[in-house]
Amino acid sequence: MIDTFLQESPILDRLKFVPVEGSAYAYNQEETLPNVSFISPGGSFPESTGTISQAVEVLKEFGGDSDVPALYQDTMSNLQDQRATALKLTTKSMYFEFQDKFINGDTDSSDSKEFDGLKKRLVGSQVITPDAPIPVVGNGGSDVHAFLDKLDELLSEVVGINGNNGAIYVNKYILGKMRSAFRHVSADLQLQTDIYGKRVVMWNGIPIHDIGEDLSGSDILPQTEILPEDEDENPTSSIYAVRFSDVEKDAGVIGLSDSELIKIRDIGLLEGKDSYRARVKMYAGLAIFNGKSASRLMGVLNG
């Protein structure tokens, strides 16, 4: 079950989970650095103290019950265990749900029972909002270079990102256009194997992944965003760059759970109906130890 949960998702295969004692996790976020000064011999340094805020992340519970009619389990499991098959499907649904909330989770406007995703958490300079929509290929010349400049700007906003700890997330349409853009500038388009064994296109050594769809089949990064200043209301999308870490001091994006990542409980044969039930669930959360652990580029045209 855990292999299914972790291996198939382009987020969960690299997101490290820190075990949390209790139902919440408190950590320090660096806000501002103190001032330092040059002084004359025998002088005194002016006092200046940086600011650190404490953030608290609450674990959220999600999962599902899987019921298999006793008839199927008793008569068909000689070919394939029916309950195990049902559990795998529930687990797969969980990773679709998790990677959607990794971007789009919103406790205010969506559902208070979920955790906040990057779309809500990223603010200020971590969100690059161009004045006008940016085509990926456009005229095949200056437009390509303008897009790649913005892609480099996106990466520059993530401190310490590299091919060992980071990833770029797009939708399938933008990924296709990026392949074309790279060909226009004679970039190496050969699929390369990232450190997690997946064959992907890379930019500056950082893997680019189609983040995929949610449970309903809708794109997690939809091609329907409208820039605030765009009077023509061109449908665009966003690109995210993320640096992952596994410890607080490394200042990246990290997952939160309790000591057991995936919990599977065999409830057994139900009294109310002739079915076997199993429950799959997870206590999950997300933490960003540094404001520059991720960034978002808005206004990307599928063109």
DSSP 64-132: EEEEEEHHHHHHHTTTS-HHHHHHHHHHHHHHHHHHHHHHH--TTTT-TTS---HHHH--GGGEE--SS
Can you give the pLDDT at residue 55? 82
Q: What is the pTM of this model?
A: 0.90
Least Cα distance to 147 among 157, 135, 156 occurs for: 135
The first and second tokens of residue 88, run together, are 């795998």
Least Cα distance to 185 among 155, 132, 150, 147 occurs for: 147
Q: How many helices (H) and strands (E) does the chain have?
A: 6, 15
pLDDT values of the chain reduced to their tens digit, one per residue, 303 residues: 666 666 778 999 899 998 888 888 887 777 777 999 999 999 999 999 888 777 889 999 999 999 999 998 888 877 778 888 898 889 888 889 999 999 999 998 778 899 999 999 999 999 999 999 999 999 999 999 999 999 999 999 999 999 999 999 999 999 999 999 998 887 666 678 887 888 899 999 999 999 999 989 999 999 999 999 898 999 999 999 999 998 766 779 999 998 888 899 999 999 989 999 999 999 999 999 888 999 999 999 999
Positive or negative torsion for Cα 176, 178, 179, 183: positive
Spell out the domains of the chain, with CATH numbers in brackets.
Answer: 1-22+60-303 (3.90.1690)
CA 101 from centre of chain: 8
DSSP 101-117: HHHH--TTTT-TTS---
Q: Is 263 helix (H, G, I), strand (E, B) or coil?
A: strand
Can you give the pLDDT at residue 114? 94
Phi and psi, residue 28, nearest 5°: -95, 140
The first and second tokens of residue 26, run together, are 């408190």
C-alpha to C-alpha distance for 174 and 171, rounded to whole angstroms: 6
